Amino acid sequence: MRTWLSKLRPLLWGDWLVLLLSLGITGWLWSDWGNYAHATKCQIRQGTHIIGTYDLMQDRHITVKGTMGQSVIHIHQGKVRFEHAPCHNQYCVQQGWLRRAGQVVLCLPNQVSIVLLGESGFDSLSY
């Protein structure tokens, strides 16, 4: 055990420098994570029908009549969410605020969906 441990040497100061710098750069990139690819618009659909495309930089409630009843969508300072929904499971409401381009939230029972659009022009991703 002792011989095994004696072979392990402490890091040199250059190693510490590399380690701290790489952690720093990674942390800095990570802090910028939430801002990446911010959506600027959202498109609301009922079934296959596009209700409209709205700018996210406003404070606005939009009521959409779906197959079950009225869904209330709230746009507020660059983000959007389902505020009320007539569905029983409330999954759409539980998704909370969305702000990144490419994100999608939908209320399947009421057939209402929101797609977040960014400047880059795509509106969905598939892998």
Chain residues that interact with other proteins, rule: CB under 8 A:
7-9, 11-15, 17-19, 22-23, 25-26, 29-30, 33, 36-37, 101-102, 120, 122, 125, 127
What is the token pair recorded at 80? 């959007």
Q: Which is nearer to other proteins, 30 or 49 (CB)?
A: 30
Provide the minimum distance between the beta carbon of 101 and other proteins in the complex, in angstroms, as a whole number. 8
Q: Helix or strand or coil: residue 29?
A: helix
> Taking the complex as a whole, how short is the minimal distance between the CB of residue 118 and other proteins, in angstroms?
8
Distances (CA, A) of 61 to 2, 73, 76, 104: 69, 6, 9, 18
Nearest CB to other proteins, comparing residues 101 and 107: 101
Quote the tokens at residue 19.
């380690």
Amino acid at 111: Q
